[in-house]
Amino acid sequence: MPVSLKDVDHIALLARLGLTDGERAALRDDLESILGYIGKLETLDTTGIEATAHVIDLETPLRDDVVRNPEDADAMVGNAPDRDRTYLRVPKIIE
C-alpha cells in the first residue's frame, strides 16, 4: 500500500498534527511498512461476519439527572493553560 507525502499531510491535518519535514518523511515510511503488514487481513474472507466493537453485553447505563460534582468551577478549569476567571481563552476564531 503506497503512501504519499500528500496522504500524510492530509491525515495530519485531519488529526490536527503539525509535522516537521523530517517527521513527514519518516512517518510516510513507517505507515507504508505498517500498512503492508496489516494487509494480511485482506487474505481473510470476512463476508457475513459481524463486527465486534466491544466485548461486553451491557446496555448503556443511565443515572438520575442530578448534579453530583461539587460546585468548584475554579478547580475544574484550574489546569487550563490560558484562562480568564473560569473562561478558557483561545486564539481568535471569528474574523
Partner 1 sequence: MIRNGPRLRPGAGSSGRASSRKTSMNLSDPASFTIATARSALDRRELSATELTRAVLDRVARIEPTLHALLAVTESRALADAAAADARLGRGESGALLGIPVVLKDIFATRGIPTTCASRILEGFVPPYDSDAAERLARAGSVLIGKANLDEFAMGSSNENSAYGITRNPWDPERVPGGSSGGSAAAVAAGECLASLGTDTGGSIRLPASYCGLVGLKPTYGRVSRYGVIAYASSLDQVGPFAWTVADVAAVLGVIAGHDPRDSTSVPRPVPDYGAALTGDVRGLRIGIPREYFADGIAPDVERATRDAIGVLEGSGARIVEIGLPHTEYAIATYYLVATAEASSNLARYDGVRFGLRRASAGDSLVDMYRHTRDAGFGAEVKRRILLGTYALSAGYYDAYYLKALQVRTLIRRDFLQAFEHCDVIAAPTAPTTAFRLGEKVSDPLAMYLSDIFTTSVNLAGLPGLSVPCGFDRDGLPIGLQLIAPAFAEETALRVGDAYQRATQWHLRRPAESTGNAPGTTA
CA-based nearest residue to 22, from 8, 34, 32: 8
| CA distances in angstroms from 6 to 26, 34, 51, 56, listed in the order given | 13, 18, 31, 39
Select from 21, 65, 84, 93 the one that contacts partner 1 (CB under 8 A).
93
Select from 2, 65, 67, 81 the one that contacts partner 1 (CB under 8 A).
81
Which 3 state secondary structure label does DSSP give 94?
coil
Q: Is 44 in the site for partner 1 (CB under 8 A)?
A: yes
The residue whose grid cell reads 468548584 is 72
Q: Is 80 in the site for partner 1 (CB under 8 A)?
A: yes
Select from 2, 6, 41, 66 the one that contacts partner 1 (CB under 8 A).
41
- The angle formed by the CA atoms of residues 32, 33 and 35, to the nearest 5 degrees, is 65
**Which residues contribute to the site for partner 1 (CB under 8 A)?**
7-8, 10-12, 14-20, 23, 26-27, 30-31, 33-35, 37-38, 40-42, 44, 46, 49-56, 58, 60-61, 63, 72, 75-82, 88, 90-93
